[in-house]
A = this chain, B = another copy of it.
Amino acid sequence: MPKKTFFNLSVSKRELIEAVAIDEFAANSYRGASISQIVAKAGIAKGSFYQYFVDKRDLYNHILSIVQTCKIEMVKDMTPPSSVMDTFGYLRWMIQVAVMFELKHPKLAKIEQDAFLENPLANESEPGEQEATDATVRFRDFLTQGIMHDDIAPWVDIDMAAFFLASVYHQIGQYLIARMADKANAIANGSVDIAFDPLTQDLFDNLMDLVEAGIAREPQIRKDYYSK
Contact = CB atoms under 8 A, between A and B. Distances in A.
Interface of A: 28-29, 31-32, 86, 88, 113, 117, 120-121, 143, 146, 150-157, 159-161, 163-164, 167-168, 171-172, 174-176, 178-179, 203, 206-207, 209-228
A173 to B, nearest CB: 11
A153 B219 contact: yes
A208 to B, nearest CB: 9
A155 B227 CA distance: 12
Given A153-B218, A213-B216, 17 more contacts: A88-B225, A113-B117, A121-B174, A121-B175, A121-B178, A151-B225, A152-B217, A153-B215, A155-B222, A164-B210, A167-B168, A167-B172, A211-B214, A211-B215, A212-B222, A218-B218, A221-B222
A153 B217 contact: yes
Given A207-B160, A227-B224, A175 B120 contact: yes
